Structure 1
Amino acid sequence: MGSPQPSGSRFGLLTATLLTGVLAAATLVAPQSASAATLTIPALQGGKRVSAYNGQTVVVTGIVTAVRSTGSARGFWIQDPAGDGDPATSDGVFAFTGGTTPSAKAGDKVTVRARVSEYYPGGSAAGGQSLTELTGPTIQSTLSTGNPLPAPVVLDSASIPAAYAPTGSLEPLTLRPTVYAQDFFESLEGMRVQVTDARVVGASNAYDELFVTAKPDENPTPRGGTVYGSYAAPNTGRVKVASLTGSFPAADVGDVLTGATTGPLDYDGFGGYTVRATALGILAAHGLAPETTRAQASGELAVATYNVENLDPTDPQEKFDRLAAGIVTHLASPGIVALEEVQDDDGAADDGVVAADRTYGRLIDAVTAAGGPAYAYRQIDPEDGQDGGEPGGNIRVGFLYDPARVGFTDRPGGTSTAAVSVTGAGGTAALSFSPGRINPGSAAWNSSRKPLAGEFTFQGKTVFVIANHFNSKGGDQPLDARVQPPARPSETQRAQQAAQVNAFVKQLLAVQADARVIVLGDLNDYEFSGTLSTLTAGTGLTDLPATLPAGERYTYVYQGDSQVLDHILTSRALTAPDYDIVHVNAEFSDQASDHDPQIVRVRP
């Protein structure tokens, strides 16, 4: 998996036990004042991200616009119905009651005494912005009930600026909501907002969240999503939707929430600004269908890569069957399939087991039951606990291949710690071990999967295939970080990993300039990234996702951004490759994996 942050938040998505620690660490306040200042809500919010009244006790009056009465982060939103006329100062604020159900009702006009605090979802160290909120609120009086709610601010192409955010530390800066999208959203924190006929760009997840775009023409994909094509263009129209109504649709990319989706604008750090919908648009299905690629011709070798998302024998048979259908039906039974995230035979049980024979066996059985070939597999068990991923799972990369079409050259000696090398004579390259791991002792692979090189034959010709799963983006700051541009520390290790694979490919080409080489797998980075530049430098490798039209370059959807994380690269000797990303998972609420597979057909 490649997402830099987990989905979910304190708002009913984390356990109460975890929540207690997160809140304690993430809410930063100054010492509480003994007296209380009577303020308007816009004065409380001010024109910056952090309230000037942080840590102080205040009294404010407003209309209750929404109530969250379940989960561990209950509370209510109040809004000044008149405001102060300043677009930089929000007229709304969230009052956090913790596990206590609020007594307030929407439409109540209330006077509230509370302490002002700045809550950093996920903790301050995660790098996200803060949410100004009222903690420990006491309703001093209910002045009236049944009041009309303030009109929502419409989020659309006209209201959201095209520029994303200023650079540097954002907290000291005065908001410029007509200039920067992040300032615009921050200026509406806690206020009622609305999106209309909003297209879904990130499918519904297990936490009853989805992403829509308020800018339907912003970097669209042909299938209804929004493509992420540059660090400089984070797609300003994306906004998360979560419901306060208790019901939520199973939406796929391209579906539309017709009519108005309305509610207070929240910030939770796990997807950024979020409409907590009190009114949810009616889902109109776009009817997006999984794709199917064409079958390989008799003279073609089809090679695919598929991240099977922590597959292990404890998974339900349905997952094996759906992955098998993806291989047989949607990928048309490739000659070779590189797999990522294959777990050991007892999955997440952390008991020293590293073998994965049962995992491969169940998948191969499911493939043959689906009408596919009787694949063989090749892989090397990792050392226990050394390759990252889910603790106890011992994920690894490996190969399936169809012996009826493809040969595998077995050379013994490949172990979890032995480094494969390039041998050869007379201008013909070979591997010292097949399969073999690339320099597994290098610090580049600490707590990360080691690449697996295999020597295959197809119609009398040798093809070298290198399967990869680079380290994830975990630990990177979110796109909406409070310091812009966000820090991406995970790139350092991927650059080291890319350099290792680059050096190995160069060794193959130094022995045999026309070596047929395919590098593929989940590289956890974009086609425009430094990781890919490092990997390809001086090798002549072509990164095939980058050859597609910009709107079609994606294998993964994260927080409404359709993006490339998985790649296939080919050497110069493999001319005119026929490449296809096969969209069967990432755009759908019902997924067999969070990644889409991809395939290349070559004529060696």
Structure 2
Amino acid sequence: MSATVSSRRAVHLLSAVALAATSLMAQASTSGVVISQVYGGGGNSGATYTHDFIELFNAGSAAVSLNGWSVQYSSATGSSWQKTDLGNVLLQPGQYYLVQQAQGAGGSTPLPTADATGTVAMSGTAGKVALVSSTSLLSSTASSGPTIIDYVGYGSTANASEGSPTPPPSNTAAVIRLLAGCTDTDNNNANFVAGAPTPRNTASALNACNSSGSGGTGGGTTTPTAVKIYDIQGSGSTSPLVNTNVITSGVVTKVNNNGFYLQDPIGDGNALTSDGILVFTSTAPTVAVGNLVQVSGKVTEFNVGSASNALSLAHTVTELTAPTVTVQGSGQSILPTPLTLPVSTDAELERVEGMLVTINSQLTVSQNYFQGRFGQVTLSANGRMETPTNRFRPGASALTLAEQNALSRLLLDDGTTLQNPNPTPYFAADNTLRAGDTVDTVTGVIDYGLSTTTTDGLADYKIHPTQAVSFTRANVRTAEPDAVGGNIKVASANVLNFFTTFTSGSTAAGASGQGCTLGGAVSASNCRGADNLAEFNRQRAKIVESLSAINADVVGLMEIQNNVPNTSGSGTNADTAVLNLVAALNAKVGDSTYAVAPAPAGTTGTDAIRVALIYKPGKLGLSGTALSDTDAVNNRPPLAQTFAAANGEKFSVIVNHFKSKGSCPSSASDPNADQGDLQGCWNEQRKLQAQRLRTFASTVQANSGSTDVIIIGDLNAYAQEDPIEELTSHGYVDQIARFNSFGYSYVFDGAAGRLDHAITTPSLSTKVTRAIEWHINADEPSVIDYNTEFKQPACAACGPDYYSASPYRSSDHDPVVVGLSLLKSVNGTPGRDNLTGTAGDDVINGGEGSDTITTGAGQDVLVYTSLRDGLDTVTDFTPGSDRIDLSALLASLGIDPAQAMAASHVRLVNSSAGVQVQLDTDGSAGPAVPRALIVLRGVTASQLQSSRDLGL
């Protein structure tokens, strides 16, 4: 890769680089002895050699005395050790030392003459071996300590190792250190291979490690090789000079708290090699950006994740460790290399690892969950990333989208490894950065690192900015959800572990020493929500703000405490938590506005969390008792309740919380294990729950006498996954999909999708006016939530507490809101009628003839489709509540509703009987005489608003 430097500095830089390549030598280490070979299959079935053995090797440049040393062995998962003392030998550079161990019953070939003999029977597949500068037995499995010279964990089940364990040996294979013992990067997995055992002793030929090879433990004594940064990086995913002591130089482009980035000022012009590298200092470096420095250090490939993390293992970071740094100049600069996302392969980012780059195309914030915790934000090209199985059925298309997502995203880091940075980076003046916001330019250094809190989680390429990053608020907060129409509003809300019993064992009621029930066991460790009363009050305030703004008539709740009777038999009200929430909600919106729909006794399951239903008794009545399905497939039983509107219309709500995708089965053969199809773990369980839900819904329909059912809740399955297909392929209608092709309620690994659903029976689908998600949670950073840990003042060094009693980040899932038009139809005859509506919401169509209409209570709609539908008298029309629908009539006459009032097609004329709604077929421009269609008794024209009351 080539870099660009200002021409006036080029001559100075070239001479400085030449000087840097020759002026510094590596310093010797105290010991270079390593364990170079381990074989535990001696004498086993199929083995050639009769004995187990351990081989040592001096990879350094000075002789080392083994007097008073020992080799020690422990089983793969054990913590006790057995030892074999070594002889009083001065081991020369490049010399091997053979320790013979126990003999087995098989094998045909004895070992070469051993330099030391023990009786330890070692495992042929997995174990731990330590080289110790003492004859005292080790007392722990720690892989480092004051007396441990080298340590090898071999086989995949070894519970300790340097880095990760070696590949597994066998009866016919030993684990052998690379380069005949010269490779040592302190990672057993990277430094050893399994191969045919080749025992060597002190009489074997010497194998001194040269200056371009790898030193032993502690670095060995090698002369550093003068190389350019791009030669260290090479064109592959790992350095060709790994574990080599080198000397190089370049310009400092970025300094963080434990290292700095160095870039060759000229570059090699090869797009396949990076010109930059990380110099890991472990403590704050003393260099500054723009310094020209010379570095002597060891080339290392660092795995940012765990030994089992395939992503991080495939993307180790090339770095220089244990560096000696000399500043040779200052005031230098490197022009950043242009970079465009998405890349075609992630090798493109490997080729600029450690380099200063600039991205001059718009990127979108796709995830901000770790913004407060680690100062990082996931950015993506071409807009937000969508969860693949939210758009496609599991299969090739979904996998292709997953690959595209991976090539489109980049982590924006804050340039340090510090946790809970103060201040939190990238916040706007309103103390947030929302997913969906955009940035047009980012300049910084490319690195690779974890994007989650777990070492086996997702890892990605990242950029450490060297210039201030400016975001545009492209995804604006809203104070309330968009209108969904209809006369009934149904919502679902995941309240993210709303517990009235805290993790401290205290409760919202002031009790102490309490616990939460999980599977029949009661313990404070089972509680999942607030840690204490202060956090609880903050949590509840946010939830109340969100629910009051939604203002739904029915709300299904998920992740609320399951206050089931405890094991002592004293018991608690199963609705304690939901009653507490409703009391707080009513304190804000009005006494008795909401009530709890009681769950049937003993049907809330044995999980620590449950589902619940709350509703407005002033708007809806309970029709029959609630139902719950306690079938064994449901770890959190669904809850159903039929509601009746004031007009007599009925519908049923079933709230659900399916099995989550986490805590995978231990066996890969389990049908609920991750199948690699992007649906995660427990998909088979969720399919069974969906199938059972269909049966339960049929029961609910039969009991209610109405086919109108809406299924809401957190189904823990994205829109195109099998559990949703189990419903939609059997006639159920996905309402979010009807109104939004990219609906989402949750963000995971930078991709947005919907786990929270509104799915209806076909009969109710025709009455759904709109279904939406209100994006108050998934798009917000978690640092603004109710928790107090990792924030000031609890953590003085952490960032500020950005909490506010607002709906934003009241949960991690977005609420779903659905409008239903449940209107009672009241129809007249072709003649004169006296029509009376119900106490609820009605659609009244008097038909032909002069009718007298009394709408009754509720919000009523008067429909007119023909000029023959008048002259009607409405006795109790209420402006702002009732409405006249002229849309079909105007359409039949070819009149544009938007122009009907302005062109005088529709006129409001006051009379002694009340305001007349008149219709003029040709408006003010023609000779037709207006005719009165409706008289609204007791109403004047000034009380009416054309858009509100006439839909015009």
TM over 0.5: yes
Kindly state the Cα deviation for residue 540 of structure 1 after the two structures are TM-superposed: 0.7
Specify the SS of the correspondent of 2:712: strand
Aligned partners of 1:40 and 1:472: how far apart in 2? 50
Q: Which range moves more in the overlay, 580-589 or 565-574? A: 580-589
| Structure 2 runs not aligned, ≥5 long | 1-144, 146-159, 166-186, 193-213, 217-221, 393-397, 417-421, 428-432, 453-458, 501-529, 565-569, 665-673, 785-808, 823-952
Does the aligned pair in 2 maintain the 1:227–1:553 contact within 8 Å? no
Per the alignment, residue 562 of structure 1 pairs with: 752
Per the alignment, residue 692 of structure 2 pairs with: 503
Kindly state the Cα deviation for residue 526 of structure 1 after the two structures are TM-superposed: 2.0
The within-5 A match list for 1:290-439 is: 290=478, 292-293=480-481, 300-313=487-500, 314=530, 315-329=535-549, 331=550, 333-343=551-561, 357-371=575-589, 373-379=593-599, 387=607, 394-408=608-622, 434-439=626-631
Aligned partners of 2:164 and 2:573: how far apart in 1? 39
- The change in CA–CA distance for 1:369 and 1:384 in structure 2 (over 3 A counts) is closer
Supply the AA of the counterpart residue of 2:493.
Y
Q: Which one of the candidate residues 231, 237, 243 is aligned to 2:408?
A: 237
Q: Which one of the candidate residues 441, 449, 470 is aligned to 1:267?
A: 449
The number of residue pairs the alignment matches comes to 505
Q: Determine if the alignment matches structure 1 residue 601 to structure 2 residue 819.
A: yes
- The change in CA–CA distance for 1:548 and 1:87 in structure 2 (over 3 A counts) is farther
- The change in CA–CA distance for 1:336 and 1:262 in structure 2 (over 3 A counts) is same
Q: Determine if the alignment matches structure 1 residue 572 to structure 2 residue 762.
A: yes
Per the alignment, residue 103 of structure 1 pairs with: 286
Supply the AA of the counterpart residue of 1:498.
K
Q: Determine if the alignment matches structure 1 residue 200 to structure 2 residue 365.
A: yes
- The change in CA–CA distance for 1:503 and 1:253 in structure 2 (over 3 A counts) is closer
Supply the AA of the counterpart residue of 2:352.
L
Per the alignment, residue 185 of structure 1 pairs with: 349
Aligned partners of 1:287 and 1:523: how far apart in 2? 26
Deviations 1:44-73 (A, max 9, x none): 33333344444555544433322221xxxx
Q: Which one of the candidate residues 779, 787, 791 is aligned to 1:587?
A: 779
Specify the SS of the correspondent of 1:317: helix
Supply the AA of the counterpart residue of 1:272.
D
Per the alignment, residue 453 of structure 1 pairs with: 639
Kindly state the Cα deviation for residue 306 of structure 1 after the two structures are TM-superposed: 1.0
Specify the SS of the correspondent of 1:29: helix
Aligned partners of 1:39 and 1:502: how far apart in 2? 64
Per the alignment, residue 493 of structure 1 pairs with: 682
Supply the AA of the counterpart residue of 1:547.
R
- The change in CA–CA distance for 1:514 and 1:86 in structure 2 (over 3 A counts) is farther
- Scaled by the length of structure 2, the TM-score of the pair is 0.47
Per the alignment, residue 16 of structure 1 pairs with: none
The within-5 A match list for 1:25-64 is: 29-30=190-191, 33-34=215-216, 35=222, 38-64=226-252
Kindly state the Cα deviation for residue 340 of structure 1 after the two structures are TM-superposed: 1.5
Specify the SS of the correspondent of 1:207: helix
RMSD: 4.1
Does the aligned pair in 1 maintain the 2:599–2:639 contact within 8 Å? no
Specify the SS of the correspondent of 2:373: coil
- The change in CA–CA distance for 1:535 and 1:354 in structure 2 (over 3 A counts) is farther
- The change in CA–CA distance for 1:85 and 1:381 in structure 2 (over 3 A counts) is farther
Q: Which range moves more in the overlay, 191-200 or 560-569? A: 191-200
Q: Determine if the alignment matches structure 1 residue 542 to structure 2 residue 733.
A: yes
| Structure 1 runs not aligned, ≥5 long | 1-19, 162-178, 347-351, 388-393, 412-433, 477-484
Specify the SS of the correspondent of 1:498: helix
Does the aligned pair in 2 maintain the 1:291–1:583 contact within 8 Å? no
Aligned partners of 1:135 and 1:451: how far apart in 2? 53
Paired-residue identity, %: 22
Specify the SS of the correspondent of 2:763: coil
Deviations 1:103-152 (A, max 9, x none): 34333422231241240425424654544335672333425232534322
Does the aligned pair in 2 maintain the 1:438–1:501 contact within 8 Å? no
Deviations 1:475-495 (A, max 9, x none): 79xxxxxxxx99357635133
Supply the AA of the counterpart residue of 2:339.
L
Q: Which range moves more in the overlay, 508-517 or 190-199? A: 508-517
Per the alignment, residue 429 of structure 1 pairs with: none
Kindly state the Cα deviation for residue 30 of structure 1 after the two structures are TM-superposed: 1.4
The structure having more radius of gyration, on CA atoms, is 2
- The change in CA–CA distance for 1:454 and 1:345 in structure 2 (over 3 A counts) is closer
Specify the SS of the correspondent of 1:574: helix
Does the aligned pair in 2 maintain the 1:543–1:569 contact within 8 Å? yes
Aligned partners of 1:55 and 1:353: how far apart in 2? 64
Deviations 1:363-388 (A, max 9, x none): 2122112216222144589999964x
